[in-house]
Amino acid sequence: MELRVAHLYPEVMNLYGDRGNAIALRARCQRRGIACTILPVNIGDPLDPGEVDIVLVGGGQDREQRRIAPDLLRRGPALRDAVDAGLPVLAVCGGYQLFGHRYVDHDGSVIPGIGVFDAETRHPGPVADRCIGDIVVETPFGEVVGFENHGGRTYLAPGQEPLGTVRLGRGNNAEDRTEGARRKNAIGTYLHGSVLPKNPALADALILAALRRRYGPSVELPPLDDAPERRAHEAALRTALARARRPV
């Protein structure tokens, strides 16, 4: 078996080491004998979402989001159709914001998104506190740990499923205890870190969804010895418990 992972804008959207998500997916595939090719997709590069198995996009500051937004908008209809057909996606921080409907900056300027998630992000203003620190989230994939650092507040529309519920940290908006968003096999999240190396169940959920989409629903993943990943997860959890503030 083989998988093809499209990594969108890897040179621009790589805040806090989000490139590690691609590395983690490839490593977990290779340990199981699954060939995994990472395909960097930069501004202007061709991409047919129907020809890849997973899409990744990382985080970036406002200027990076403005830089990629026109190119991402051009790809939006095809990406939405592919997500509706089951394409797994991991969109982190700035990428997550642009996979919603729009990001409204502190001065009221709008960066349009592609509407994969029924969500909008608004910046509360230059004097507002950033949502920054260690974060722990309860999700359908188990406990997920990471690091968040974002000024914008994301609000999910009624009926839009979050990734999970904040146990420690801020999450989407520091108000409603939601974190991230899910649409079929697409996941949006504010968790950097990078998130997948220390949350192997989340990584495997993306891999399994991709394999079943390509090879059929009977595919199963053989277990791995995740002792290093568990140690990384537990260390991040201890740090979060010691330092992160509880959601307001």
Active site positions, annotated: 93, 192
Distance, C-alpha 207 to centroid of its chain: 14
- Cβ(45)–Cβ(92) under 8 Å? no
**b/e burial code for range 167-202 (CB count within 10 A of at least 16 → b):** bbbbbbbbeebbbbbbbebbbbbbbbbbbbbbbbbb
Q: Which of 45, 66, 53, 91 is nearest to 190 (CA)?
A: 91
d(CA 165, CA 179) in angstroms, rounded, equals: 6
- Cβ(174)–Cβ(154) under 8 Å? no
Secondary structure (H, E, C), 212-223: HHHHCCCCCCCC
What amino acid occupies position 210? Answer: A
Q: Which two tokens stand for residue 128?
A: 């507002």
DSSP string covering 151-202? S-EEEEPTTPBPSEEEEES-TTTSSS-EE-EEETTEEEE--BS-TTTT-HHH
Instruction: Go through the chain and tell me how many residues it has.
Output: 248
